[in-house]
Amino acid sequence: MALRPPKYCRQCRKRNPRHGRYNGCCSLTCLDKYSRGRKEVLWIKCAGCGKRVVRCGSRRYCNDDCKGSHSDGRVGLSDNVRRHVFAKTDGVCAYCGELAEHVDHVRPVSKGGTNAPSNLVPACVACNLIVGDKLFPDFDSKKRYIQEQRGLKPKPAPEEYQRPAWHAWVYGAMKNRK
């Protein structure tokens, strides 16, 4: 059985164990160098430094150093945390009462908030997009702002529960028996 000839990088001609991952190049840097002057290649700007780089998959940065220095470092929520947040209100938006599809940070991450479950509430798409990353003094003021922007009427606060007149007579007598 004949062995295949080794695959080499199109740019630097080094042996390329990952042939085909970067369109025949051994790294993204070699891909950028190899693609210069080619018209069929799609170019994007690096999200960090703005340098022109070849589009390759979901690539946003020119290299790992640039990604590390310019990315916001946010980490997605785990499925367990997401389920816990939706279980708080049975999958209903905390602001308007519609079906919730997003998880909203009460205090935005960009303003110092965290991914702690106490800072997360379920929200529908409309409510989550209206609020953006605005900072509010408390949850109630944020809720009022969203309801005003969406034209929703705030639900009246439930009245204080009044026990029936017979309650003290029945349960008061039970306390005296013990």
Domain ranges, ordered by start, for the chain: 1-66, 79-150
Hey, what CATH topology would domain 79-150 get? Answer: DNA Binding (I), subunit A (1.10.30)
Q: Which residues make Cβ contacts (< 8 Å) with residue 122, sequence separation at least 6?
A: 85, 86, 88, 89, 91, 92, 93, 94, 100, 102, 103, 104
Look at 167 and 70; give whichever has higher pLDDT: 167
CA–CA distance, 163 with 159 (Å, rounded to integer): 12
Neighbours of 133 (CB within 10 A): 11
Q: Provide φ and ψ at 161, rounded to 5°.
A: -70, 125
Residues 155-165, mean pLDDT to the nearest whole number: 65
Q: At 175, is the pLDDT very low, low, confident or very high (cuts 50, 70, 90)?
A: low
pLDDT at 117 over 70: yes
Across the chain, the runs of DSSP E, i.e. the strands, are 43-45, 52-54, 102-105, 120-123
Q: At 122, is the pLDDT very low, low, confident or very high (cuts 50, 70, 90)?
A: very high
Q: If residue 82 lies in a helix (H) or strand (E), which one and from where to where?
A: helix 79-88
Q: Which residues make Cβ contacts (< 8 Å) with residue 63, sequence separation at least 6?
A: 28, 29
